[in-house]
Amino acid sequence: MSTDTSKTTGESTDTGGRATMLRAITAVGGLASVVSTFLAWTWTDEFPGDLTFNGYPGGLQILTLVLGLLTTVFALAAMDLRGLRWLTPAGSTQALRLMALGTFATTWFTVIAIAVDLGGLANWEPGAWVAAIGSAIPLAALLLPNDTRPLKRPAELPSWAEILIIAAVFAIGLYVVNYGIQTDPDHPEPFLGYLIAVGFAAAALFKAGIVARMSALTAKYRSVTLLAALVTAVAFPFTQDKASYTELGVNILIFATVALGLNIVVGLAGLLDLGYVAFLGVGAYTAALVSGSTSSTLDVHFPFWAAVIAGAVVSLIFGVVIGAPTLRLRGDYLAIVTLGFGEIFRLAMQNMDGVSGPSVTNGPNGIPNIPPLEIFGFNFDEDHTVLGRTLDSNANYFLLMLLVTVVVVLVFSRAGNSRIGRAWVAIREDETAATAMGINGFRVKLIAFALGATLAGVAGTVWAHVQTTVVPEQYVFAGPVPPNSTFLLAAVILGGMGTIGGPLLGATLLFLIPKKLEFFQDYQLLAFGIALILIMRFRPEGIIPNRRQQLEYHETDQLDAPDQPQLSGNAVGVTKAEA
Amino acid sequence: MTTTTSPVLSASGVTMRFGGLTAVRSVDLTVNSGEIVGLIGPNGAGKTTFFNCLTGLYVPTEGNVTYQGDILPPKPHLVTQAGVARTFQNIRLFANMTVLENVLVGRHTRTKEGLWSALLRGPGFKRAEAASKERAMELLEFTGLADKADHLSRNLPYGEQRKLEIARALASDPGLLLLDEPTAGMNPQETRATEELVFAIRDQGTAVLVIEHDMRFIFNLCDRVTVLVQGQKLIEGTPDVVQSDERVIAAYIGTPFEGAPGDDEVAEVEAAEAEAAEAQQDTGPSGTPKSTTARTEDGQ
């Protein structure tokens, strides 16, 4: 309330001077937060991250340091300081507010956590008081008038500079991801602080228009961007120093890849598949059976390439066998039937133990002792020193999995942007009209279903070797531990249907958050549900929206028709057509 | 018109029953090449059902449909493949695809690049894709939508959505185009433009079968008109013949019968209307100042 009144009076008197003053206050507050991180916040190292040092920041203080700096820089950019204006092409106020809020939230989260964990405000050293007060000062930005403006045409930079920017952004991205992955797994505080900080900072950068500017740049240099993404991904295992971190990395990559495969089925062809995890299982079981494991009922040892082909072919066959009868159904019926088939797979694996059925899978015991992969004498279970860094087993599998991911990304983007991809989208949009345009609906849907199954099967073959054990209980419909069909579907929906980045981001978030926050695991399914409800309410197109979907859900944005003056006519046409 | 009059489409004895309801009863229809044929009838006469029988959405209970001498298979995509394209009564565009993509989907039957060529992206794929795009742009040019190629089809005005549906249907290079109420909901100018468009399509060598309720549109456009009433063909002939047929008029507005109780009143009303019309013609010029006075009075 008080903010409202003060804002109106401020605007009526001297808006410009007052705004400049508020921005200056914000900048000073940001600096104060920065300074506070060089002081000790508490007296004991019992609090995770050891915030007891005077002279340099540590643990959660680093987050406050970075956000405080960003707040100061954004405040200076808002004051039109020369050389900083490129930071806020779409308006500075909303970005500045979010940055200020982020600094405040992260710092106060930390100091409150100190008080709660250690029992009382007595545990605050003077630095904590400075931080608490200093980080509250930038909230002055909340009183600033809104100055959101349409994106300005960017200044022309030489192309080497633009490419350098892309490289720098990917490097920063890798650093940020690494920071999150390497937070102390035994205490939830650092990761929670990280989530708060990254969330606010990302929102601020989005509002400032930098994200839009960056996506324009990456679209301009597509091949450079792809190369940078690949290099970043390859660099990931080289920057880890603990096996638990590379294990996180390889698991994230596997689930992200499988989610991307599911995105072909759900996002492009619009077939709601609730039993997708079964195809990952088919691939994993096939690879396990031909791996030469002592527990395998087949006494064969395929080389890896043959195992991958076997996994892909068996998954393809399963995809066609399951798809052929079910794809005659539409919508909800298809969802129910695929859910059923997913469970049938798990129960079948459980019962093929030689007692209830043929002896193939060892039933609930699964197939343990899957031997490590060996390609051209390169043993995946041993440590290898490459470029002075030691790559452990998980890092080796990470690099192998990356190859699969690249294949899946290529398949997704190439198939999606072709005759068959257009047919999928047409089927998703209106099946009757699509068949009237000469599309054989059943055939095209079966191709999507089988392709999705095959890609999951390939990922499954690697997954079996990473886990060294396959058991039926991994392939349930919903459960606390990924992979399960709900997890994969949630990753696709949360991230953004029909996009490449969406499932990758969605799977990363959904996997990393419960892993880092141990206390969270009991409530994981509840949190899934809440997260999905929130996404459906506030951002139904997912975190990374598909251009089509964004327009679908936010009708008034008219992103594709900015040059047309007769927008009102268009709007009338839309309502008429839908009436 | 063209001199060749080989039949493009001929339906003989098409009957469609839904349980006990016979929606279409043994209808014969022939469309010759270079012809525009109209299909009219009151609401519920079975026009759209008959259309759906022609395009394979329904399998007719009896009778068969041949296209250029071959019996059409009862699957919509095979009918389109054979060369019969259609539009829908209620617009069914792919709402979240761009205008260009909509037309490209229409090219589906005339291209054959499968999954493998899409994944491998050989020179053949690129050539086919470029050719499809070129043909699609031609069609957008033809229908006057070229400058909106990158818009989402859901954002087009209503009239242009109708045009886009026609462009999409034409993309499959059909020998026969079936239009289901192409001018429904259009204003007179748009109707006029659609008329021109249909003539242009005919001149390109595509026969057209059109369902419409707008009689002026139908009688301007069509070489022959078939009237469907309660699932049965009532009459077929040139627009003049159909227009003057009493049974057609009766089907649309009913028949007067001898000694109907309202007859006297009807005659009275008609006489009064004629009188009023005359009176209005006389007082035509003086009508304007009168209304101005009325307005000023309202203002006070």
Nearest CA in chain B to A426: B94
**Does residue A554 register a pLDDT over 60?**
no
Nearest CA in chain A to B156: A570
Residues with Cβ within 8 Å of residue A421, at least 6 apart in sequence: A268, A415, B118
Contact A570, A561 (CB under 8 A): yes
> For residues A294 and A301, what is the distance between their CA atoms, to the nearest angstrom?
10
Residues with Cβ within 8 Å of residue A75, at least 6 apart in sequence: A23, A24, A26, A27, A30, A96, A138, A141
Chain A residues inside the 8 Å CB shell of B76: 432, 435-436
Contact B129, B101 (CB under 8 A): no
- Residues A446 and A474 grouped into a single domain: yes
Chain A residues inside the 8 Å CB shell of B151: 560-561
Q: Identify the domain boundary among A230, A251, A271.
A: A230
Q: Which long-range contacts (CB under 8 A, 24 or more apart) does B202-206 make?
A: B202/B34, B202/B35, B202/B36, B205/B33, B205/B34, B206/B170, B206/B174, B206/B175, B206/B176, B206/B177
- Residues A477 and A567 grouped into a single domain: no
Q: Identify the domain boundary among A183, A198, A230.
A: A230
| DSSP reduced 3-state for A353 | strand
Residue A351: inside a domain: yes
Distance between alpha carbon A562 and the CA centroid of its chain, in Å? 30
- Residues A409 and A478 grouped into a single domain: yes
Residue A13: inside a domain: no
Chain B residues inside the 8 Å CB shell of A414: 118-119, 121
Q: Among B85, B86, B96, select the one facing A552 at the smallest CB separation.
A: B96
- Residues A411 and A432 grouped into a single domain: yes
Cβ contact B96–A447 (<8 Å)? no
- Residues A498 and A394 grouped into a single domain: yes
Rg, C-alpha atoms of chain B: 24
Q: How do residues A244-281 score in pLDDT, each as one tens digit?
A: 888 888 999 999 999 999 999 998 888 888 989 999 99
Residue closest to A127 by CA, chosen among A199, A177, A57, A188: A57
**Does residue A574 register a pLDDT over 80?**
no
Read off the pLDDT of each residue in A292-312 and give the average, rounded to a whole number.
84
Cβ contact B96–A415 (<8 Å)? no
Q: Supply B297's token pair.
A: 């009075």
CA atoms within 13 A on the CB side of B279: 6
Cβ contact A576–B132 (<8 Å)? no
Q: How do residues A209-252 score in pLDDT, each as one tens digit?
A: 888 788 878 878 888 888 888 998 988 888 888 888 888 889 99
DSSP labels, A264-320: IIIIIS----TTTHHHHHHHHHHHHHTBT-TT-SS--B--HHHHHHHHHHHHHHHHH
pLDDT band with cut points at 50, 70 and 90 for residue B259 = low
Cβ contact A415–B154 (<8 Å)? no
Q: Among B75, B118, B155, select the one facing A420 at the smallest CB separation.
A: B118
- Residues A336 and A399 grouped into a single domain: yes
Out of A4-8, A563-567, B228-232, give the one with best mean pLDDT: B228-232
Residue A174: inside a domain: yes
The single-letter code of the amino acid at A24 is A
| DSSP reduced 3-state for A369 | coil
Distance between alpha carbon B215 and the CA centroid of its chain, in Å? 12
Mean pLDDT of chain A: 81
Chain A residues inside the 8 Å CB shell of B98: 560
Burial classification of residue A411, based on how many CB atoms lie within 10 Å of its CB (0-12 exposed, 13-18 middle, 19 or more buried): buried
> For residues A536 and A314, what is the distance between their CA atoms, to the nearest angstrom?
36
Nearest CA in chain A to B150: A560
- Residues A532 and A554 grouped into a single domain: no
Q: Among B80, B93, B119, select the one facing A438 at the smallest CB separation.
A: B80
Residue A238: inside a domain: no
What is the number of other CB atoms lying within 10 angstroms of the CB of residue A112?
12
Q: Supply A422's token pair.
A: 């257009």
Query: Phi first, then psi: what are they for A37, rounded to 5°?
Result: -70, -15
> For residues A214 and A207, what is the distance between their CA atoms, to the nearest angstrom?
13
Q: What is the β-pairing status of strands B84-86 and A378-379?
A: unpaired
> For residues A71 and A103, what is the distance between their CA atoms, to the nearest angstrom?
8
Q: How do residues B221-253 score in pLDDT, each as one tens digit?
A: 999 999 988 888 888 889 888 888 888 888 877
Alpha-carbon gap: B63 to the closest alpha carbon of chain A (Å) = 21
> For residues B120 and B115, what is the distance between their CA atoms, to the nearest angstrom?
9
Cβ contact B111–A430 (<8 Å)? no
Query: Phi first, then psi: what are they for B36, rounded to 5°?
Result: -115, 120
> For residues A73 and A21, what is the distance between their CA atoms, to the nearest angstrom?
15
pLDDT band with cut points at 50, 70 and 90 for residue B260 = low
> For residues A84 and A77, what is the distance between their CA atoms, to the nearest angstrom?
5
Cβ contact A439–B108 (<8 Å)? yes
> For residues A261 and A280, what is the distance between their CA atoms, to the nearest angstrom?
10
**Does residue B175 register a pLDDT over 80?**
yes
| DSSP reduced 3-state for B91 | coil
- Per-residue pLDDT, B167: 93
Residue A28: inside a domain: yes
pLDDT band with cut points at 50, 70 and 90 for residue B290 = very low
Q: Identify the domain boundary among A230, A260, A282.
A: A230
Which of the 8 DSSP states describes residue A543? S
Chain B residues inside the 8 Å CB shell of A572: 157
Query: Phi first, then psi: what are they for A44, rounded to 5°?
Result: -120, 150
Cβ contact A430–B105 (<8 Å)? no
Q: Among A420, A429, A432, select the one facing B114 at the smallest CB separation.
A: A420
Residue A357: inside a domain: yes
What is the number of other CB atoms lying within 10 angstroms of the CB of residue A331?
11
Q: Among B80, B150, B156, select the one facing A437 at the smallest CB separation.
A: B80
Q: Among B85, B104, B150, select the one facing A422 at the smallest CB separation.
A: B104
The single-letter code of the amino acid at A294 is T
Question: Left (φ > 0), alpha (ψ -120 to 50) or beta: where does B111 sit?
Answer: beta
Alpha-carbon gap: A24 to the closest alpha carbon of chain B (Å) = 44
Maximum C-alpha span of chain B? 80
Nearest CA in chain B to A547: B96
Query: Phi first, then psi: what are they for B299, rounded to 5°?
Result: -65, -35
Burial classification of residue A569, based on how many CB atoms lie within 10 Å of its CB (0-12 exposed, 13-18 middle, 19 or more buried): middle
Residue closest to A78 by CA, chosen among A99, A103, A105: A99
Cβ contact B156–A440 (<8 Å)? no
Burial classification of residue A128, based on how many CB atoms lie within 10 Å of its CB (0-12 exposed, 13-18 middle, 19 or more buried): buried
CATH, domain range B1-83+174-255: 3.40.50.300
User: Which of A432, A437, A442, A552 is the best residue to mutate to test the B interface, defined by the most B CB atoms within 10 Å of its own CB?
Assistant: A437
- Per-residue pLDDT, A151: 67
According to DSSP H, which parts of B83-234 are helical?
99-106, 115-120, 123-143, 158-170, 188-203, 215-221
- Per-residue pLDDT, B256: 65
Rg, C-alpha atoms of chain A: 26
Residue located via tokens 């953004």: A496
Cβ contact B172–A437 (<8 Å)? yes
Residues with Cβ within 8 Å of residue A123, at least 6 apart in sequence: A42, A43, A44, A47, A114, A115
Q: How do residues A495-530 score in pLDDT, each as one tens digit?
A: 888 888 889 988 988 888 888 887 777 777 787 788
- Per-residue pLDDT, A37: 80
Nearest CA in chain A to B112: A419
| DSSP reduced 3-state for A375 | strand
- Residues A169 and A290 grouped into a single domain: no
Q: Which residues of A touch B (CB under 8 A)?
A: 410-411, 414-415, 418-423, 425-426, 429-430, 432-441, 447, 451, 548-549, 551-552, 558, 560-561, 569-570, 572-574, 576-577
Q: Among B92, B105, B168, select the one facing A423 at the smallest CB separation.
A: B105
Contact A266, A341 (CB under 8 A): no
Higher pLDDT, A214 or B127: B127
Chain B residues inside the 8 Å CB shell of A558: 155
- Residues A247 and A141 grouped into a single domain: no
User: Which of B75, B77, B88, B187 is the best residue to mutate to test the A interface, defined by the most A CB atoms within 10 Å of its own CB?
Assistant: B77
- Structural domain span for residue A460: 243-373+386-543
Chain B residues inside the 8 Å CB shell of A551: 96, 152, 154-155
Residue A522: inside a domain: yes
- Residues A225 and A287 grouped into a single domain: no
Q: Which long-range contacts (CB under 8 A, 24 or more apart) does A296-301 make?
A: A296/A367, A297/A359, A297/A360, A297/A361, A297/A362, A301/A371
User: Which of B97, B100, B115, B117 is the best residue to mutate to test the A interface, defined by the most A CB atoms within 10 Å of its own CB?
Assistant: B115
Chain A residues inside the 8 Å CB shell of B113: 418-420
Which of the 8 DSSP states describes residue B157? -
> For residues A325 and A487, what is the distance between their CA atoms, to the nearest angstrom?
25
Q: How many domains does chain A have?
A: 3
- Residues A216 and A359 grouped into a single domain: no
Chain A residues inside the 8 Å CB shell of B160: 573
Which of the 8 DSSP states describes residue B10? E
Q: Among A419, A434, A577, select the one facing B91 at the smallest CB separation.
A: A577
Peptide bond into B289 cis (omega under 30): no
Q: What is the β-pairing status of strands B36-40 and A389-391?
A: unpaired
Cβ contact B115–A438 (<8 Å)? no
Residue A401: inside a domain: yes
Higher pLDDT, A262 or B255: A262
**Does residue B19 register a pLDDT over 60?**
yes
> For residues A50 and A43, what is the distance between their CA atoms, to the nearest angstrom?
9
Cβ contact B151–A561 (<8 Å)? yes
Cβ contact B108–A419 (<8 Å)? yes
- Residues A211 and A252 grouped into a single domain: no
Chain B residues inside the 8 Å CB shell of A449: none
Residue located via tokens 């400058």: B147
> For residues B107 and A549, what is the distance between their CA atoms, to the nearest angstrom?
24
- Per-residue pLDDT, A578: 36
Chain B residues inside the 8 Å CB shell of A421: 118
Question: Left (φ > 0), alpha (ψ -120 to 50) or beta: where does A378 sit?
Answer: beta
Helix (H) or strand (E) segment spanning residue A538: helix A524-538
Chain B residues inside the 8 Å CB shell of A573: 155-161
Q: Among B91, B95, B128, select the one facing A429 at the smallest CB separation.
A: B95
Burial classification of residue A165, based on how many CB atoms lie within 10 Å of its CB (0-12 exposed, 13-18 middle, 19 or more buried): middle
Higher pLDDT, A14 or B107: B107
Q: How do residues A30-51 score in pLDDT, each as one tens digit?
A: 888 887 888 778 777 777 777 7
pLDDT band with cut points at 50, 70 and 90 for residue A548 = low
Residue located via tokens 């195809």: A279
